Amino acid sequence: MTQEQPSANLCLNPRLLKIARLLPKSQTVADIGTDHAYIPVWAILNKVSQFAIASDINKGPLDRAFQNVSDFGLSDKISLRLGTGLSTVSVGEADTIVIAGMGGMLISNILEDAKSTVLSAKTLILQPMTAAKELRGYLLQNSFCITEEHLIAEDEKIYNIFIVSVGAPLREYTERELILGKDLDKTSPGLFDRHRQNILKKYKNRAEGLKKSCREENKATLTEIERLLELLK
């Protein structure tokens, strides 16, 4: 069994599989918002982690996780926990933390509410569904080092994945990189242009809406968005 073929019976969607393949070797990986516990199961089956924590705020997803963990005979390797965010993980308990499939602002709040636990880890893998720019801003403002960024396409949408090294020296981001991401043309060359065009389209649509407004405060916002459009071209 290899990282490329984790199990014939474990089928991860492209987004989750990309996250799983980015996992570093670890003693314990904690997957927050685990749903079916696919990532913990994959990590144990592929010997990427020795132990895993599968945590979710809702009982329904945790019941599904329990079924998967039981089906693969991993009840002694994966701890299922019900609770909010990182409240289910003790300080120093997990050296890798995965938070995927949530909005960027929610991920920021989860990290902020459990700073001691976060700072005791070595690696964070974060996959925001929205507000990637805002999550980047939070990480940089709080001295987290985003060592790698990747893109993954699924169901006609493109998602960001951040690999964050806790305690590593901070990498500088330009204003353009804060919006688009850093080195994505190298790590995800096949998706970067689509990603950039998607962001440009959002700014263009917002600019068109503001042009129809007569409110004075919207004129300043329009000027700023037009500046950003030039920056991102």
For the segment 139-182, what is each residue's pLDDT rounded down to a tens digit? 999 999 999 999 999 999 999 999 999 999 999 999 999 999 99
Sheet holding 78-82, edge to edge: 78-82, 49-56, 26-32, 96-102, 123-128, 157-165, 145-154
The domain ranges of the chain are 14-172, 188-233
Structure tokens given for 192 = 């970067």
Of the candidates 2, 7, 22, the residue with the CA atom closest to the CA atom of residue 100: 22
CATH label, 14-172, candidates 3.40.30.10, 3.40.50.620, 3.40.50.10490, 3.40.50.150: 3.40.50.150
CA distance 35 to 163: 21
pLDDT tens for the chain, 233 residues long, are 344 444 547 889 999 999 999 999 999 999 999 999 999 999 999 999 999 999 999 999 999 999 999 999 999 999 999 999 999 999 999 999 999 999 999 999 999 999 999 999 999 999 999 999 999 999 999 999 999 999 999 999 999 999 999 999 999 999 999 999 999 999 999 999 999 999 999 999 999 999 888 787 888 899 999 999 999 98
Is this prediction's pTM over 0.95?
no
SS (H, E, C) 35-84: CCCHHHHHHHHCCCEEEEEEEECCHHHHHHHHHHHHHCCCCCCEEEEECC
Q: Which helix (H) or strand (E) holds 161?
A: strand 157-165
Task: Say if residues 114 and 108 touch (Cβ distance below 8 Å).
Answer: no
